[in-house]
Structure 1
Amino acid sequence: MILKGKKILIGVTGSIAAYKAATLIRLLKKQGAEVKVIMTASASHFITPLTLSTLSQNPVLSEFVKDDTGVWNSHVDLGLWADVILVAPASANTLAKMANGIADNLLIAVYLSARCPVFFAPAMDLDMYTHKTTLRNISILCNDGNIMIDAEEGELASGLSGKGRMAEPEHIVDALSAFFQRKEVLKGKKVLITAGPTKEYIDPVRYLTNASTGKMGYALAKAASDFGAQVTLISGPVHLPIPDGNVEVIKVDTSKEMYDATMKNFSKSNIAIFTAAVADYTPKVVSDTKIKKNDSEMKISLIKTHDIAKEAGKVKREGQLTVGFALETDNEVVNAQQKLKKKNFDFIVLNSLKHYGAGFGHDTNKITIIDEHTQQEFSLKSKSEVAVDILSKIIEKIK
């Protein structure tokens, strides 16, 4: 059993779906998991702590200090204990607190202390679930690396019918099982990822760059680590936290620095994913001092930079898998197919700026995966979900 021995910390919040927590705990225990439960104050209106304590075979926690004992329930220790945290049901109120770090109860304090993956299963009425505020909070949580087990369609407590029902306990157990199973898929594999923009200096204070934020590359690094890989992330200048997991980050500024770091590490990788938006040109001459403004025009001569992915493709060894990205505005598929062959990729990920929510700066992306024989188009998704789609394609190729 995949969940045998796994330490699962369940957060139960104030939702009518809290009654499903009893079945969820029973199923997890049946799979051999060790379960602890934290309840918010409002959750106890829907199901009693005694019920969940009996089923989990552990005391249910709800306060920072144990009743009448003065003993502290350490949110830090709880966060370190868990292999995974699961908030189910996750009410709109709790989602808002998680997204904004409002640690006014034990559950949110534990969430903020967690070193492990965090799942959440939303449960609320249809109008609350589709409200822009809730959708924004869900987007923030997913982009922060949390994993949503999406709500399901059906009859709601209000009498309405639609999306908002907490996923059935059996489906949640399946999602957790799939997560732990996939952590073994890329175990022992070394994945090299380039991400972000580069800076091409004109003088000590001015440079040429582009609008890449590195979000896609960082999401891929997190996903690859979640799949069990050892990740080397070569990152241009971005403002993103280092992904959790087995990820080594090498920070660079210029295209030359990214080229050197990539070629140094490429031969050691089993898989390489080139997401960085590397400058195609760099100033021919870089001034040692700040160039002073004058009344005449300023002309800058540019020379081509190294095509990192193409150079790596030339020394690619048998069995090594490489993936490229193409951001196109015209003749998207044709241009992507040309890059696929020119740079010796196993497949290429096409983004089109014609799709709202795709490309630089967004928390979402809409991609088409193209290989020698097929094209697979995906819907608009969060970049963390897109990363899983890309890793799934890689695993399919490896197999």
Structure 2
Amino acid sequence: MEGRWEPMLWGRLHPSSGIVGEKRGDLEDRCIVLGVTGSAAIYRSLDLARLLMRYGAVVRVVMTPAAAELVSPALFEWATGMPAVTKMTGAIEHVSLARLCDAVLVAPASLDTMAEIAGYRASTPVSALAQEAAGLGKPVLLVPAMHLGMWRRASRLVGELEQQGFYVMRPVLEGEQAKYPPVELVAWWTEALLARGRDLEGLRVLVTAGPTREHIDPVRVITNPSTGKMGASLALEAAWRGARVTLVHGPLCTGLPQGWQGYLDETVGIETAEEMRRALLERIKGTDVAFYAAAVADYRPSGALPGKVPTEAGSLVLELEPTPKIVGEAVKAAPRAVHVGFAAET
């Protein structure tokens, strides 16, 4: 934390400094100013601040008056080791922090704050910070959280913000709420934008993930222990970086946070190798990059039995046949695309 962070009075002796850089990532030596607004989801931002620090970031917190009424600024000082900015003073904190930071992350972003930023207003510390940072060419990221009706009303507002160069992370829609996404996804999105930018903007990316299942009978299958996490992670990373992403997947057990599939343009669930083949060939034309991370079965029973084989039958002999070579067909169908394959070896 040497050099340019000295003016920020980074609390080296504060216990929170001990978590900085615990996790490997691309936020090391990055300064993120976390803007917090008056949303009921505000408590999630305490965890977000700590997670960003674990990825190596220096985090400063700026709060709206409404946010400071919901959660004490002292809690954010505890979380980050540095006092939160709650009002604009003669120290012009919104200017100094905008100049010093690498990005501004407003999470949660209330509808009121989003409208104020889109309307070029700066009446709170958070909106003033966002305007100053945007004017200096710094990335400003917004993470809305509100009730579903308000989110629906905000659709045109989101478009206006994105046209002005702001980044907006869609909330997780659940019941009557447009919820604050899991903090792990917010941190990942932030890291991707800061470290790699929107370098895949406009590209069409197709990813396969997970295992396939080939039925022996209605209740027994030949499969493998693939979780699909690598393919799902590739798909999400491409989406964060601006690509239009289609994920064709078998049964998944990725361990990724809830709602991750909502950030992809299309997800197609399949079970067998033949189903994956058909889904892939229907979508491969026009694809710019394809990642084949699925663990597709190499063999399948030559004919699935119509009923469950009773265990009393004793030994069971299966005749297996090769499954189609999906990648080879996809390469022929889209010869101009970049094709990236993966294979597990022992």
Cα root mean square deviation, aligned: 3.9
1:209 and 2:226 are equivalent in the alignment:
no
Q: Counterpart of 2:75?
A: 42
Aligned equivalents of 1:278, 1:145: Cα separation in 2: 31
Conserved? CA contact 1:203–1:291, under 8 Å: yes
**Partner SS, residue 290 of structure 2:** strand
Alignment of 1:1-399 (within 5 A): 9=35, 11=45, 41-44=74-77, 47-49=82-84, 53-54=88-89, 55-56=93-94, 77=110, 81=114, 83-84=141-142, 113-115=179-181, 141=184, 146-147=187-188, 178-179=194-195, 182-183=197-198, 185-240=199-254, 241=258, 242-318=260-336, 320-329=337-346
Residue 194 of structure 2 aligns with an amino acid whose one-letter code is A
Conserved? CA contact 1:76–1:113, under 8 Å: no
Q: Counterpart of 2:3?
A: none
**Partner SS, residue 330 of structure 2:** helix
Q: How many residues align?
A: 214
Query: Structure 1 residues 200, 47: CA separation in 2 closer, same or farther (over 3 Å shift)?
Result: closer
Query: Structure 1 residues 145, 79: CA separation in 2 closer, same or farther (over 3 Å shift)?
Result: farther
Aligned equivalents of 2:304, 2:192: Cα separation in 1: 53
Query: Structure 1 residues 191, 49: CA separation in 2 closer, same or farther (over 3 Å shift)?
Result: closer
Residue 322 of structure 1 aligns with an amino acid whose one-letter code is H
Conserved? CA contact 2:235–2:245, under 8 Å: yes
**Partner SS, residue 219 of structure 1:** helix
**Partner SS, residue 216 of structure 1:** helix
Identity of aligned residues (%): 31
Question: Post-superposition shift, 1:52?
Answer: 5.9
Question: Post-superposition shift, 1:177?
Answer: 6.6
Aligned equivalents of 2:236, 2:113: Cα separation in 1: 19
Unaligned runs of 5+ in 2: 1-32, 37-44, 96-106, 115-139, 144-177
Query: Structure 1 residues 310, 83: CA separation in 2 closer, same or farther (over 3 Å shift)?
Result: same
Conserved? CA contact 1:197–1:213, under 8 Å: yes
Q: Counterpart of 1:342?
A: none
Write the deviation string for residues 347-374 of structure 1: whole angstroms up to 9, x where unpaired. Answer: xxxxxxxxxxxxxxxxxxxxxxxxxxxx
Aligned equivalents of 2:213, 2:194: Cα separation in 1: 40
TM-score normalised by structure 1 residue count = 0.46
Conserved? CA contact 2:273–2:324, under 8 Å: yes
Query: Structure 1 residues 291, 186: CA separation in 2 closer, same or farther (over 3 Å shift)?
Result: same
Which structure carries more relative contact order (alpha carbon 8 Å, separation 6+)?
2
TM-score normalised by structure 2 residue count = 0.52
Write the deviation string for residues 71-106 of structure 1: whole angstroms up to 9, x where unpaired. Answer: xxx968379958346xxxxxxxxxxxxxxxxxxxxx
Aligned equivalents of 1:145, 1:328: Cα separation in 2: 34
